[in-house]
A and B are shown apart, each in its own frame.
Chain A
Amino acid sequence: MSGHIHKDYTGAKFGMWLFLFTEVLLFGGLFILYSVYLARYPKEFISAGKELNVWFGGGNTLVLLTSSLFVAVSITALRRGAKRLCLGLLGATIACAAIFMLNKFFEWSAKIHHGIYPGSEHLKEMKHGEIVFFNLYYLTTGLHGIHVVIGALVLTWAMFLIKRDRVNANDWVILENAGLYWHLVDLIWIFIFPLYYLILH
């Protein structure tokens, strides 16, 4: 019985990168919206931006940067035969995702409690530039949050495959691709953080 399964490590990884480029264009579009409206309403972006809490934003930045470290190290661990370390690190990455979403839950709850959310009466009374800022904030961070959840699910799936040795030191591209998706989630936040939380002047 000839059971040769064709595998293409480079092709698999390149395919993932192509998908990541489409994600870059997706979020790129939202950042273009931001930049156009920042140019049009600079003062209002600043006044609206001051309503956001730099501790939530900064905290979540640290959480995602650390999660990227964990997932990157997990690949080296797997390739060096440290399977349990790999699984532990992936678990830690997923825990970081949960912490991120918990932070986001508290952050959004506080905002919504103060009447700042798309379509709210309070929002309608604000200056035009401020309305745009908050709408873009919810749209961009909301879409990003969905990606955090998807990334966590993809990593969980990778963990199952590793546990069953279907992803291993000889065939690890699935873990690498899952990691690439996760790093993209981190990358998008690396731009969201300064643009939404650090426009103070």
Chain B
Amino acid sequence: MSEQDVHIVPYKTFLMIWVALLILTGTTVAVAQFHFGAWNIWVALGIAILKSGLVVAVFMHMKYENRLFRLALFSALAILAIFIGLTFVDVLYR
């Protein structure tokens, strides 16, 4: 497979993702104004994860890459998750 076969993302796709990102940003600011207690941060993180998912998948072309790229990304994120998890297993029980 030559690199010329690599999918070219249309301008419109990028534009639509950008609009979605703006809407999600507005949403996260709006939600932050309300008292949801402990939920506030989880909603904020959830929206951030959604936004980053869009950036990685479309802007960074991950959606169109071969499986090895996704596997590598998943591995890196899994390692980060373990890092966070083990840190809290320590810190929460001191």
Residues of A within 8 A of B (CB): 9-10, 13-14, 17-18, 21, 24-25, 28-29, 32, 35-36, 38-40, 54, 58, 61-62, 65-66, 68-69, 72-73, 75-76, 79-80, 170, 173, 176, 179-180, 183, 186-187, 190-191, 193-195, 198-201
List 6 A–B pairs whose Cβ atoms lie within 8 Å, in order of A's numbering: A38-B41, A193-B48, A199-B32, A200-B33, A200-B40, A201-B40
Given the interface contacts A72-B14, A199-B41, A201-B37, does A183 sit within 8 Å of B55 by beta carbon?
yes
Return chain B residues, CB-CB under 8 Å to A39. Answer: 88, 91-92
Residues of B within 8 A of A (CB): 3-4, 6, 8-11, 14-15, 17-18, 21-22, 25, 28-29, 32-37, 40-41, 44-45, 47-48, 51-52, 55-56, 58-61, 65-66, 68-69, 72-73, 76-77, 79-80, 83-84, 87-88, 91-92
CA separation between A201 and B32, bound complex, in Å?
8
Return chain B residues, CB-CB under 8 Å to A73. Answer: 11, 14
Return chain B residues, CB-CB under 8 Å to A13. Answer: 65, 69
